Structure formats: structure tokens, C-alpha cells
Amino acid sequence: MFFITIDYFEDLLKKPSLFKNESKLDINFIPEKLIHREKELVLLSQLFLVLITNPNALSRKILIIGKTGIGKTAAIKLFGEMITNAAEKRSVLIKYVHINCRKERTSYKVLIKIVRALNKNFPKRGYSPQDLLDIIVDSVNNQNLQLLIALDELGYLINKGGDLMYSLTRINDDSFNARQCISIIGIARDISCLSNLDVSTMSTLQRNIVKFKDYTKEQLYDILKYRAEISLKENVISNKLIKTISDLVYHSGDIRYGLNLLWKSSKIAESQDLKYITMECVRLGNHDIVPFSTLDVLKYMTLQKVIFLLAIIKALQKSGKIQISSSVITNSYLILCENLGIQPRSYSQLWNYLQDFKRENLITVEIKSEAIKGRKALVAVQEISLSKFEEIIINILQSKGIKI
């Protein structure tokens, strides 16, 4: 048996790869240049220049908005690195902390993350949010640095998120003549995502909005071409195919989809021992790609919600219809819960889940008025093939120890 395994690897290792550097197609890879985002980076630099020229004199609070997959995160991370480096050269200390609020959903988690960026070994429990705010202020003062906090995916900060933003934006205002040493960059899809923030925080942030526009088809082409150049060997993909991929991406505008398709197509070409990517590879790759935003959403979803989502998919598959009513879904859910031996959630909770799924673009919900029975919600899944969706969800559940 051992021999077979070893030969397998040897075979694969002998195969010429189409990649020069596969990791450069990864969606989390931050390229050293962001073409077509120069204007935004210049604007940000102008806004934050004062942190270097006149440290602690002014703090900035700005909001970046723009659709998913258009380089907001990449641009801000790159910007964080640029400003830290430029400051360091002039002996000014700026600490950049990037926080994904979809991952750190509560104010407490966000604050802990900031504290830990300042003091590595800080214990995770036992402090109130106010303690944590105090610790942040103390650390920043003791270490004599300016803090630049990026709160990415701000729309996902739940419940008391408003409080947190309020406190963070007010830290400097407490004492007269205080050092202005905490700046904030909020990032969100659009302003309506931020309805959980309090009014005064909103108005603070809204004063400085930097809008990231969608990429045009031509820009998508340039970006994908660049990413292909740094990750694939020469002549592996033709300009024409890159154009095809950018056209496919243009529909959602999410570059991550394009990067994934590029990677998938390359893998398919490799598996077929081709020396370059063909249209058929792209077609095959495009067939079963799930949008990255969906995978992201699923990654951080609670178990109860994942199970409810699976119930929706199962009900849709079983009915063979495009849309199904919420009562059919509820039945499917109750059966699934029984099979899994878990306690079902309440109707109102399920209704909230539906709203979340809708907001996260996983489903569409159409409300139909019916004369006698009142209103009825019709649910559909549009973007993703149901079997693929089911497969992913079952994998997630299995990774969490649940057998379907």
C-alpha cells in the first residue's frame, strides 16, 4: 500500500505545473499594487497624512463603502502597511489593526482583538468593555503610539455595536487637550448596513465617506490579467480567455469569483495534462463555483442557522419547484431536527434567520398577499446549484461533528 501512495505523489510532483505561484491567486493575497484603486489610495493618504506630519494632533474617522469583492479590504490592508512604513521612517509609531466584524461580531470581541494587538498575552476573559476601553487608552499612551483601527464588514457588528463605535469614536474627547491618537476606518457595503449604529456615530462617520466604485469590465480585465501574470506561467492563458472570465465576473462584480474561476480552470487544465487553459476548462470551472461571498457567510454561520438553511435546500430539491412557501420549509426543518435529534428553534427565530439569509444574498424572499390567509413568503435560491449548495453545507456540518 505504501508504495502506491509514494508513487502517487511522485507522479504528481513530476507533472509540470501551470502555476508560477499558486498562492497569488488566493483571495486573501494582497498584491503589492492595486491597479485601478490608485485614486482611492491617494485620497486616503491625503486624509491620514496628518498622523505622520503632526502626530497626536488629529484623529480621523472615515467610512468606506462599496460592493463585495471590489478591493476594499485589500486596499485598506495595503494602506495600513503603507502608512505604518512611512511613519516608521520618520520615527512616528502607528499601529494598524485590522478587524473583521463578521468574525468578531460583538463589541467585546472587537475590543479584545484590539487589546491583544497591543498586548500579545492579554487574557481573554474577565474584563468589562469599559475596562477594555481603558486598557486600550492606557496602552496607546504608554507605548506612545497612534492607533489606526480598520473595522471591516462593519454591518455585521451585532446588538450593541453602536455602543462600541460610539465609545471608540469618543475616546479622545473625554479629556480636554487629550492626545488624539485613535483613528478609525469603517468598511461596509452601504450605509443602510449600518442601521445598528447610533445616530451620532453615524453622523461622525458619514462626514467622511470614501466610496469605492464598481470596477468596469475593462478594469476587471486589467486586474485579472495582472493576477494571472503573477500566478501563472507564461502563455498558460490567452487574453481572450481572461476577457471571457472578466465578462463572467462582471455580472456580480465580485473579483473573488474571477480569481477562483482562474484557479479552478488552471487546475482543470492541469488535471487534463494540458499546457494551457482552454475555453472548455473555463466552462467546466464556471459550472460548479459557489460565489465566495456565500462561502464566507457559511463559514461564520451558527450551527442552528446552517441546519435551517439545509432544510430550505432539501425542501426545494424535494419539491422540484423554483419557489416554496415558508410553511413547507418549516415542515422540512422540523423533520430534519427530529432526524438529527436537536431542539427546533421558534417560528420567530426562524423568521429572523430567513431575513438574515435574504440579507446575505443566499435566498430571495417574495411576499405574496392571499385574500383569506393573509400573507405568505415564497423562498427561492437563485445563484447556486442546489446539489452543490447541499454538498457544501453537509461538509460544514460534518466538520462540526454532525452526521447527516
Ligand X SMILES: Nc1ncnc2c1ncn2[C@@H]1O[C@H](COP(=O)(O)OP(=O)(O)O)[C@@H](O)[C@H]1O
The answer to the question of residue 44 lying near ligand X (CB under 6 A) is no
Instruction: Tell me which of 18, 51, 65, 74 binds ligand X, using CB under 6 A.
Output: 74
Distances (CA, A) of 274 to 16, 23, 314: 10, 21, 38
Binding residues with ligand X: total (CB under 6 A): 22
**In this chain, which stretch among 68-76, 238-246, 310-318, 326-334 interacts with ligand X, using CB under 6 A?**
68-76
Instruction: Tell me which of 40, 48, 72, 297 binds ligand X, using CB under 6 A.
Output: 72
The answer to the question of residue 37 lying near ligand X (CB under 6 A) is yes
The answer to the question of residue 36 lying near ligand X (CB under 6 A) is yes
**In this chain, which stretch among 70-78, 84-92, 269-277, 372-380 interacts with Mg ion, using CB under 5 A?**
70-78
> How far is residue 81's CA from residue 73's CA, in Å, rounded to a whole number?
12
CB proximity list for 57: less than 8 A, separation 6 or greater = 50, 180
What does the angle CA 239 – CA 241 – CA 242 come to, to the nearest 5 degrees? 65
**In this chain, which stretch among 65-73, 75-83, 276-284, 346-354 interacts with Mg ion, using CB under 5 A?**
65-73
The answer to the question of residue 201 lying near ligand X (CB under 6 A) is no
The answer to the question of residue 328 lying near ligand X (CB under 6 A) is no
Question: At its nearest, how many Å lie between ligand X and the CB of residue 377?
Answer: 29
The answer to the question of residue 71 lying near ligand X (CB under 6 A) is yes
Out of ligand X, Mg ion, none, what residue 127 binds, judged by CB under 5 to 8 A for its kind, is none
DSSP states of 50-107: HHHHSTTT---EEEEE--TTSSHHHHHHHHHHHHHHHHHHTT--EEEEEEETTTS-SH
Strand partners, 97: 149
Instruction: Tell me which of 63, 99, 228, 255 binds ligand X, using CB under 6 A.
Output: 255
Instruction: Tell me which of 59, 73, 146, 260 binds Mg ion, using CB under 5 A.
Output: 73
> How far is residue 119's CA from residue 141's CA, in Å, rounded to a whole number?
13
The answer to the question of residue 268 lying near ligand X (CB under 6 A) is no
What grid cell was written down for 370? 392571499
Phi first, then psi: give them for residue 55, nearest 5 degrees: -55, 140
Instruction: Tell me which of 99, 223, 261, 268 binds ligand X, using CB under 6 A.
Output: 223
Q: In what order do the strands lie in the sheet with 94-100?
A: 94-100, 146-152, 182-188, 61-65, 209-211
Tell me the three-class secondary structure of 216-279, residue by residue.
CHHHHHHHHHHHHHHHECCCCCCHHHHHHHHHHHHCCCCHHHHHHHHHHHHHHHHHCCCCCCCH
Looking at the Cβ atoms of 218 and 391, the one nearer to ligand X is 218
Question: What does DSSP say about strands 374-380 and 324-325: parallel, antiparallel, or unpaired?
Answer: antiparallel
Strand partners, 152: 100
The answer to the question of residue 256 lying near ligand X (CB under 6 A) is yes
Looking at the Cβ atoms of 69 and 291, the one nearer to ligand X is 69
Instruction: Tell me which of 56, 59, 68, 146 binds ligand X, using CB under 6 A.
Output: 68
Looking at the Cβ atoms of 230 and 274, the one nearer to ligand X is 230
Looking at the Cβ atoms of 74 and 245, the one nearer to Mg ion is 74
Contact criterion met (CB below 8 Å) for 70 and 194:
no
**Residues lying near Mg ion in the complex (CB under 5 A):** 73
**Residues lying near ligand X in the complex (CB under 6 A):** 27, 29-31, 34-37, 66, 68-74, 223, 226-227, 255-256, 259
